[in-house]
Amino acid sequence: MTAEFHIERKGPILVFTFDRPAKYNALTRDMLGGLHTALIEYTKDHTARVLLIRAEGRYFSAGIDLNSIGAGPDDEGPSAFRRRYRQTAHHWLYDEFEALEKPIVVAHQGMCMGAALEFSLSCDFRLASSAAGYSLPEFSMGMIPGSGGTSRLVRTVGGHWARWLIMATQTVPAAQAHTIGLVHDVYPVEEFDERVEQFCLHLAEQPPEVMAAAKLAIELAQDLDRTQARNVERLINSSLNGGIEQKSLFAELRARFARKP
């Protein structure tokens, strides 16, 4: 059987690639398991500074492969469903993407649908090619996006555009996705891979302790009132103050200004 994904290092970047283009990169248990493997490797390897998730083929992913994962109606009852759903492995995986104090970038070269968009919303940065598009087709299965696709989408683009994607089941092209804040940037198809790599290398150059602290601060502050959010800033900066990274960065700044005429 041909591998459905592969993991490789490119300098400081750990690259995870979906590689099931004949099936539109529909997500199987093995592919989600591969993401879990990549996350563990990224967590343990301090020389890996960025995790990049990408895909081969025309689609980034068409979402869950229903034949592989076996999603569908059953008679277990609402409370039993909620208990099982809470323990689903990929839900934990998406939560870990958010909690990990290192940056995760997802690069959509093509259409990103359903569960693929749901896990992408748990990544720190979403980059799109001009050929990408976004949709949440869960209504066709008699459900709403339930793996963070509703809750994270509302936090990202607000209820206005969440209604457009979820309730109206509209497809959003890359340019519009950028306008509404669903993705951070859009690159021309012919420049996409190069521009994504440049962005990842830029992230990799940032001080890792400051990067970790910033990710924590942003996650905390967005759900707090102004006063408590300012307290988060103070706490984070007090933990960084006088640290090795700060001393090194200030030494570089002083040397740079000393060289100026």
* pLDDT for the residue numbered 1: 44
d(CA 140, CA 164): 15
Q: Is 188 helix (H, G, I), strand (E, B) or coil?
A: coil
Pairwise CA distance, residues 27 & 94, whole Å: 14
Residue with tokens 């299965």: 141
d(CA 43, CA 33): 15
pLDDT, averaged across the chain: 91
pLDDT digits (tens, 9 = 90+) for 207-243: 999 999 999 999 999 889 999 999 999 989 999 998 8
Please determine, for residue 165, whether its predicted confidence score (pLDDT) is greater than 80.
Answer: yes
> Mean pLDDT over residues 159-182, rounded?
97
Q: Give per-residue pLDDT as tens, 78-109.
A: 777 666 666 565 788 999 999 999 999 999 99
Q: Which CATH number fits the domain 5-204, given the four candidates 3.90.226.10, 3.40.50.720, 3.40.50.2020, 3.40.50.2300?
A: 3.90.226.10
Of 51-60, 63-72, 162-171, least confident by mean pLDDT is: 63-72
Q: HSE (CB half, 13 Å, CA atoms) of 19?
A: 12
Q: What is the pTM of this model?
A: 0.91
